[in-house]
């Protein structure tokens, strides 16, 4: 079982990033993960719309001012990690809700999807990511839910907003969105004891054609990954089909990992989204709930981290895009739970 892997794992991790492989949502070392089989060669890259740094329309990201943490009313139930500044470990328990749990899980996921849709309507030039965070926070708590990122390992905001070259965990701040930006908004909510988790990359104004294609192909990768999911399917099929589709366009798939989600925000099984071989946990099980969240980049996979220890950017300044859904495994396929 994957639970035999003996490295400390946390999806929201404040430590300095050293390895080039890490979990979706947070960094971690893959050095001790068991791999088997022969290394596969990559097919030739085709049909990519070329992008160079000369195509960049806006300046590289800089850290803006981060406003104080927003308050959540006392009557709203909060997940256990809120009172701790340390990042929770990934739970070894697979998320397989019972019939009542499925109803609650679907409600949390649908709320997350509605919040994400609303957040997307706010994406336009001159809007700050802090304004998006405030709007998300307000909608979540008015729905009787808790914004899952808030307080997770000390994360200071209610949503992640990752702009342009930011791969993930962008902290909302005073920076205004600019014409030509792309922004991934990652929404997770905790409602009635269950988490729903989803994200999407939005276009802001007039975006470069090559970046539009990156966003489009990333969403297609998510759809293709979901298409191979069903009871009894091998987890390795997910990374295989995602990587194959990305490589047709010359894109790199970051070695992030999806995760089980339900009564806890992050649990096993760990969902490899790049080409991989079967691990000790080989097959999907009917009733499992987990996320798929591929991240593609136009350029290199090297990264840098800001002093806030959260914001992760491509080292070469090239753009990155991400899409995420929470799904439920069925006998015939996968039901996408994070649809509004």
Residues tagged in the binding site annotation: 169, 186, 197, 259, 266, 293, 324
Angle at which helix 209-227 crosses helix 236-248, to 10 degrees, equals 150
Cite the annotated binding site for substrate by residue number: 169, 266
For tokens 């097919």, name the residue.
43
Quick count: other Cβ atoms within 10 Å of Cβ 104?
Answer: 18
DSSP sequence for 225-288: HHHT-STT-BTHHHHHHHHHHHHHTTPEEP--EEEE-SSSSSEEEEEE-SS----SS-B--TT-
**192, 105 Cβ separation under 8 angstroms:** no
Spatial distance between the Cα atoms of 181 and 170, rounded to a whole number of angstroms: 14
Spatial distance between the Cα atoms of 59 and 131, rounded to a whole number of angstroms: 21
Burial class (CB in 10 A: 0-12, 13-18, 19+), 337: buried
Cite the annotated binding site for a divalent metal cation by residue number: 186, 197, 259, 293, 324
Six-digit token pair at 126? 């001159």
Six-digit token pair at 196? 């729903």
Backbone angles phi, psi at 309, to 5 degrees: 65, 15
Nearest to 225 by CA among 139, 284, 301: 284
Q: State the DSSP H helix or E strand holding residue 329, giving kind and residue range, or none if neither.
A: strand 325-329
**198, 325 Cβ separation under 8 angstroms:** yes
**88, 81 Cβ separation under 8 angstroms:** yes
Spatial distance between the Cα atoms of 304 and 295, rounded to a whole number of angstroms: 16
Count of positions (residues) in the chain: 340
**190, 115 Cβ separation under 8 angstroms:** no
């Amino acid at each position: 079982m994957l639970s035999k892997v003996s490295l400390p794992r946390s999806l929201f991790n404040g430590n300095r990033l050293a390895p080039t492989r890490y979990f979706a949502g947070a960094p971690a070392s893959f050095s001790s993960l068991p791999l088997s089989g022969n290394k596969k060669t990559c097919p030739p890259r085709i049909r990519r719309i070329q992008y160079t740094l000369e195509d960049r329309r806006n300046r590289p990201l800089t850290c803006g001012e981060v406003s104080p943490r927003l308050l959540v009313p006392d009557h709203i139930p909060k997940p256990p990690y809120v009172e701790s500044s340390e990042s929770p470990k990934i739970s070894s328990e697979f998320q397989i809700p019972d019939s009542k749990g499925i109803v609650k899980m679907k409600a949390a996921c649908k709320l997350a999807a509605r919040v994400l849709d609303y957040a997307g309507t706010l994406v336009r030039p001159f809007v700050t990511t802090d304004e998006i965070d405030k709007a998300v926070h307000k909608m979540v708590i008015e729905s009787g839910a808790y914004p899952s990122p808030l307080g997770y390992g000390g994360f200071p905001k209610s949503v992640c907003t990752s702009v342009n070259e930011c791969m993930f965990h962008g902290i909302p701040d005073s920076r205004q969105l600019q014409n030509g930006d792309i922004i991934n908004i990652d929404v997770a909510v905790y409602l009635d004891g269950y988490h729903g988790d989803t994200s999407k990359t939005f276009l802001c104004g007039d975006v470069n054609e090559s970046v539009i294609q990156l966003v489009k192909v990333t969403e297609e990768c998510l759809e293709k990954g979901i298409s191979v999911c069903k009871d009894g399917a091998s987890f390795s099929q997910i990374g295989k089909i995602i990587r194959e589709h990305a490589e047709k366009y010359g894109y790199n798939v970051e070695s992030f990992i999806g995760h089980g989600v339900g009564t806890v925000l992050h649990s096993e099984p760990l969902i490899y989204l790049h080409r991989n071989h079967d691990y000790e946990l080989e097959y999907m099980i009917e009733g499992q709930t987990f996320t798929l969240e591929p991240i593609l980049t136009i350029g290199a996979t090297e990264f840098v981290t800001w002093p806030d220890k959260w914001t992760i950017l491509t080292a070469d300044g090239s753009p990155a895009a991400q899409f995420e859904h929470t799904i439920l495994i069925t006998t015939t396929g996968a039901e996408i739970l994070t649809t509004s």
